[in-house]
Structure 1
């Protein structure tokens, strides 16, 4: 019988701390390389990012934000126009160097991807129009990936960040795969965070809070893990090791997740190994078309 591992799966609000709805960082048990902060910001509210030695990517989930970020005594204000929701295409994001502190204001919902590092890379705003959009898979395994924080798109120290939109009834993070061994040129060690949102398909007569998807992980030689969960907006899964996937969008509901990755390997790269029992599924995509519902949103520049 399968169970959901309570160390690695957390419902919305279960990780609340210091005005943030959810916080994962070095104080999270058995967690080291990655972090995330999620908050709902109301007008007049200010959220502080006061620690240095942490690189960050500010990702508007909905709404718009102003970030005053300071390094070496010099302050810069960056405006992120954002978007109506995570299902409205890519957003502009802000990479913050590890020597920066910041103050956030605005209105909406925001996620901050984090990783501790002593390496200082320059802060950079990445406009939505410059975000590489990848349509991955085919048929019922079609999904849309926004690669604003991957090695080819961003010069970061450790962070690898992207977001994935899976249309209703489709599967993503599939075939199940892992990245928990250092095998040069084949596989890299990366902790991974999944932050989820779900919503009724456009035009549906449904209650938004009822929207859900499914997510699974299971063990590999690197460690024991077992998550089989109905996921809703605001839920967080931590993947320290093991095979992860699929993430499945239920009929009637689209599924989104933000992936935050970093690890101890000397190279910043995303190298995965499929579960050998399911790797053959990739061959079935040959000759199939990408789901015609993709891409989501109107921003298609930079599509790959």
Structure 2
């Protein structure tokens, strides 16, 4: 199995854990908790900022000494937009599940920005359609670069069955602004129905990195560098949550030259 493919632990609890140390990079962290009603997860952010994303379910949230109330709405990541909470560095937080709850914790370095805790409601989120034909996908911007954060960029995407996504292949692995930014990235994948599968390839121009992976429900793919297109099979819609971070908080990408013609279609 590829070292870029992270399988979740079975059952409930803390099922996925990615840190800069485990990933071998410098910025992005990603954790996933599956909680039963009444269960609580809590932590301190330390020198990192986080974005809590309610993938499914409802929970009561406390962050930075504030009671934020009952958040969450959708019971499937394929139905509607998420509730999220931004929590800056130097804060504590906790979430207690009211229903079965799938909670993502997206993390990156805090830079001392002094930003406040804030709830990001579904009505606050912009959505867009990217691509055409069998390259169509639906994007929800949770924490885009136009909204305040120190390092984090967070977005979720739904790709209809049989379509490609993150395609034409693009990369963002050079700190060479304004042409391209260096951003590490994680993909958290869900399939509908859940027994489905798709594919993701992570590769560089010189093929020093070239990994092709079958992705299943709950998998995380690490993208330390290179191009990273994915595709889902007939009959199975694909959801993914992206977390990106790097030395500068901007998304400037470079398309694979040999596939650039696809952008003209």
TM-score band (shorter)?
A: over 0.9
User: Which one of the candidate residues 5, 25, 28 is aligned to 2:2?
Assistant: 5
Deviations 1:86-113 (A, max 9, x none): 1002112111111211111113111111
SS where residue 34 of structure 2 aligns? strand
Choose which of 280, 292, 297 in structure 1 pairs with 2:261. Answer: 280
Which of 171, 179, 187 aligns to 1:186? It is 179
Task: Assess, with a 3 A threshold, how the Cα gap between structure 1 residues 224 and 82 changes in structure 2: closer, same or farther.
Answer: farther
3-state secondary structure, aligned to 1:28 = helix
In the other structure, the counterpart of 1:50 is 44
Question: Match for residue 131 of structure 1?
Answer: 125
Q: Distance in 2 between matches of 1:100 and 1:51?
A: 5
Q: Which residue of 2 aligns with 1:241?
A: 225
Structure 1 residue 123 displacement after superposition: 1.5
Deviation at 1:218, TM superposition (A): 0.7
Provide structure 1 residue ranges, at least 5 long, that are not aligned to the other structure.
Answer: 201-207, 285-304
- Structure with greater proportional strand content: 2
Q: Which residue of 2 aligns with 1:299?
A: none
Displacement of 1:29 after TM fit? 4.2
Contact 1:224 1:242 in 2 (8 A): no
- The answer for the alignment partner of 1:297 in structure 2 is none
Deviating beyond 6 angstroms after TM superposition, the runs of 4 or more aligned structure 1 residues are: none
Contact 2:125/2:140 (8 A) holds in 1: yes
For these two proteins, the number of residue pairs brought into alignment is 262
Q: Which runs of 5+ in 2 are unaligned?
A: none
Task: Tell me: CA distance 1:121–1:220, structure 2 relative to 1, closer, same or farther (3 Å).
Answer: farther
Which secondary structure does the structure 1 equivalent of 2:25 belong to? coil
Instruction: Indicate the residue corresponding to 1:94 in structure 2.
Output: 85
Asked if 1:215 corresponds to 2:200, the answer is yes
TM-score (norm 1): 0.82
After superposition, the C-alpha distances for 1:194-238 in whole angstroms (9 at most, x for unaligned) are 1100012xxxxxxx3x211111111246x8322211111110111
